Amino acid sequence: MTEPPGGAAADGNEEIMRATHRALRDHGYADLTVQRIADEYGKSTAAIHYHYDTKEELLAAFLDHLLARFVDTIRDIETTDPDARLSLLLDELLAVPSETQGLSVALLEMRSQAPYNDAFREQFAQNDEYLRYVLKAVINHGIDEGAFVTVDAERTARSLLSIVDGGRTRAVVFDDASELELARQVASEYVDATLR
């Protein structure tokens, strides 16, 4: 479901997305029901089903919403210097959550369900494709400007996302946010080794 650019429907969706965020953060994915999201939304489940037929459809839309939020965040990165820009992107991708790890936990649960759930798999693939695209763009820009050596930018982007996903997985499994900080350093070491 594409979100309209504004108006009541968009506001409704935005509120549902926030309610979904809180429900996932506080209850995780496995036990999540539309009723719980409705409780957070402060309306009936029917009000949610007016927008989304199924829980899966709603959660896939939520993954799309997270991507849209990330797009907004990187739109705020004003520097065009490839080095600084790549560094800020990696900072964002491996940021330590401000509150709890609750949403990260729920997202790993949803990722683990991708093999069983077409909507999740497609949305995770789409989010990853966008991240690869953004990383590739800044790497190619750096190559053009002579800041980076010539590499296969697609491969380097995918390698960096592998480091990112390793840190994210470990931070959840071991309940240890320092895994994100370590992965951020590994990403820097990898950039130094392969792009300079």
Binding site for a second copy (CB under 8 A): 28, 30, 101, 105, 108-109, 111-116, 121, 124-125, 128, 155, 158-159, 161-170, 172-175, 179, 182-183, 185-186, 189-190, 192-194
Tell me how far, at minimum, the Cβ of 159 lies from a second copy, in Å. Answer: 5
Tell me how far, at minimum, the Cβ of 162 lies from a second copy, in Å. Answer: 4
Fill in the amino acid letter for 166.
G
Tell me how far, at minimum, the Cβ of 194 lies from a second copy, in Å. Answer: 6
Long-range contacts of 141-147 (CB under 8 A, 24+ apart): 141/80, 141/82, 141/85, 142/82, 142/83, 142/86, 142/195, 145/82, 147/81, 147/82, 147/83
Q: Which is nearer to a second copy, 72 or 116 (CB)?
A: 116
Q: Which of 135, 190, 126, 183 is nearest to 158 (CA)?
A: 135
Q: Which is nearer to a second copy, 121 or 136 (CB)?
A: 121
Q: Which is nearer to a second copy, 45 or 194 (CB)?
A: 194
Q: Which is nearer to a second copy, 44 or 112 (CB)?
A: 112
Q: Which of 16, 24, 18 is nearest to 113 (CA)?
A: 24
Tell me how far, at minimum, the Cβ of 6 lies from a second copy, in Å. Answer: 33
Residues 6+ apart with CB under 8 A from 160: 90, 135, 187, 190, 191
Q: Which is nearer to a second copy, 31 or 72 (CB)?
A: 31
Q: Which of 44, 161, 23, 2 is nearest to 105 (CA)?
A: 23
- Give the three-state DSSP class for 49: helix
Tell me how far, at minimum, the Cβ of 89 lies from a second copy, in Å. Answer: 16
